[in-house]
């Protein structure tokens, strides 16, 4: 995804193959983040949250991620819903903007999850 994010916006949106690949990779990355979240919250709370965004809120309440990161991941979960349910209507410029702003959030999330798992093991 970083390769797609490094493209100038005009080059990105003018190449539908790149746009489609980026949408798919974003969808997979967001789905993976959600799967990890639902698994952890189910283990901690004994039940899955009602929405994907609420899942990240639960991780923030548990101190695993910051509230700010939970808010941003919640927005990503809502973007995932757009990709799944109205895929063809998602503005290609918005996909590029998401790549610019949200990749670091996924890395921060994975780092926080890794730290939480290390603490559980010790």
Q: Per-residue pLDDT tens for 35-48?
A: 999 998 888 767 78
What's the pLDDT band for 88 if we cut at 50, 70, 90?
confident
Domain ranges of the chain: 2-121
Nearest alpha carbon to residue 26 among 111, 89, 84: 84
Q: Which CA distances in Å does 62 have to 33, 43, 56, 96?
A: 17, 12, 10, 32
Q: Which residue has the higher pLDDT, 117 or 45?
A: 117
Domain 2-121 belongs in CATH node 1.20.120.580: yes
Could you give the percent of the chain with pLDDT greater than 90? 74
Tally Cβ neighbours within 10 Å of residue 82. Answer: 16
pTM: 0.89
């Amino acid at each position: 995804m970083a390769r797609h994010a490094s493209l100038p916006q005009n080059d990105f949106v003018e190449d539908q193959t790149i746009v489609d690949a980026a949408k798919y990779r974003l969808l997979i990355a967001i789905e993976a983040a959600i799967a990890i979240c639902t698994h952890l919250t189910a283990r901690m709370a004994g039940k899955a949250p009602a929405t994907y965004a609420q899942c990240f809120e639960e991780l923030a309440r548990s101190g695993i991620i910051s509230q700010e990161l939970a808010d941003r991941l919640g927005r990503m979960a809502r973007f995932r819903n757009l990709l799944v349910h109205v895929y063809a209507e998602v503005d290609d410029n918005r996909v590029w903007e998401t790549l610019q702003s949200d990749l670091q959030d996924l890395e921060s999330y994975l780092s926080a999850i890794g730290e939480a798992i290390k603490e559980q093991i010790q």
